[in-house]
Amino acid sequence: MQIGVYPGSFDPVTLGHLDIIDRASRLCDHLVVGVLQNGSKYPMFTLDQRIRMLKKVTEPYGNVDVLSFDGLLVDFLKQQDAKIVFRGLRAVTDFEYELQMAQTNHSLYPEMETVFLTANVQYSYLSSTIVKDVLVHNGDISNFVPAPAIDMIKQFRR
């Protein structure tokens, strides 16, 4: 069984994230969406809220689970018995950082491979940071976030 992991902070989940989840879920038998708890970042949404949003938007996928992790990605991969990491690339600027991370992870866990999925052009500009900026200014996020997450985001922001 091929197990893949799509890691990220997902603060909040965007349509771009969901596009990568959809595509990655078709490339492996089982996909684990790994929600990073990073002590050096200050997320807008709690870990529990991010997990709840992701579980809601991935309900239609029978081969996707959502789990949290902290620490090294390679340790999480080993815990999940996964050898594939999926990463989305929006622009050339993403590639340099992602390449460094892929090479570092591969040197720590040679059995793993990183698969880069290029962003769907309609989401190539989209990031969680942009969504948060729009949210802070009470803008409409309906073109950026999966519909099932919108009500949750509004509820969590109260």
Indicate which residues carry an active-site annotation. 17, 41, 90, 128
Which residues are within 8 A (CB) of 151 and not within 5 positions of it... i.e. 6 or more apart? none
Amino acid 115 reads V
3-state secondary structure 93-153: HHHHHHHHHHHHHHHHCCCCEEEEEECCHHHCCCCHHHHHHHHHCCCCCCCCCCHHHHHHH
Pair of tokens at residue 9: 């902070």
Tokens representing 157 are 């922001």
Amino acid occupying residue 102: A
